[in-house]
Structure 1
Amino acid sequence: MTAFIEHLREQRWDDHRYYHHSRINQSLHLVSAVSFVCAYIMAFWNPAMAALIGWLGAMTTRQVGHLVFEPKGYDAKNQATHEHKENIKVGYNLRRKIVLMSIWVMSPFCLLIDNTLGGTMDTPQSLDEFIRNVGILWLCLAMGGLLFRTMQLFFSSGIQTGLVWATKIITDPFHDIMLYRTAPLHLLRGELIDQSTRHNHSSQLS
């Protein structure tokens, strides 16, 4: 268990120091994290609505932060190129994220072509029911994306790495709220880039 927790801290630390320099990105991650927590709560009553909140609110703000606002040049702070960081990324790097988000955007068109998705869903009788089916489809996509990458990591990096990454993804919203709760204040002060230096990932991200 100690090794698992330390591995989780290491993955969180690498994700933070490599991919969260921009205060705008950090602030968007805070919005995303709150949205995800709302989606988690909503899932107990309405899983389809939870998926809509998760994809339209949480995932959109999160990925806009990465794709638009995060610096892509040489990372002098960590002495790493963007290409190096992309190659060692444990989970979904930017290329994989673009593929995943493209599938997400295109997936509702499958329901326009076949509104029962091969008989796996009820035929929608109204716009609300169609949107509900989209939510169910997106819920399956989220679970499939998590399971697919976890299984990939099982074979490429070991079972523990895959389980740690899955745990990190599921718990990221709560951790991001704690980590980036002050980011909007820094942004209001005109601090666009996080200049702080943190050497000890155990104390910073535990």
Structure 2
Amino acid sequence: MANAEGEKPLRKIGEAFKDLAAVVNSETLELEVGPFSHACSLVSPLFGCLGIAFKFAELDYVAKVGDLAEVSKSIATLQTLVDRDVESNCVRKAGSHTRNLLRVKRGIDMVRVLFEQIIASEGNSLKGPASTAYAQVFAPYHGWAIRKAVAAGMYALPTKAQLLKRLNEDEATARIEMENYIASSAAVILYVDKLFLSRELGLDW
């Protein structure tokens, strides 16, 4: 999927997550569901740019970000969202907002690892970076069939050059934006993890 001329998806993502990280790092403010879901929605096109290997992730991620965007109309903060599900004893039920939050968190974490691997790797292939990101973040929660399908889809990944063209970036500008996202998303991911761990919900479900 190509972007409209002049659009800079990576810059939009970096700026949105930088704003979220500023809230998290303040240690006095709670992260609001609305800005969080909006920033996460900006990440969705990246999955589309990666092709069939991450189609499952794109569909799942988009649906769950949509749920968080919808619930932001009635629940202000991520903390309140999780606490309400805890009170209702529905945290681990399929479709719960907390479960969806965990899945969205994995999506932004996968992109973080992917960017780290792209920056660290040489050459034009995305197979290594994408395989590492998938293995690290998603694979532990997927059955054999999905892992097999993803492995097959890795051969249809775009090259690094093709990905950057779709994102309207060159190597230098892409690196800056990816580094911005890596730093800011790490703070946001840690914040979400702490929401779960402080309530003894765990992260492996």
TM-score range, shorter chain: 0.3 to 0.5
Tell which structure's C-alpha radius of gyration is larger. 1
TM-score by length of 2: 0.35
Between the two structures, name the one with larger relative contact order (CA 8 Å, sep ≥ 6). Answer: 1
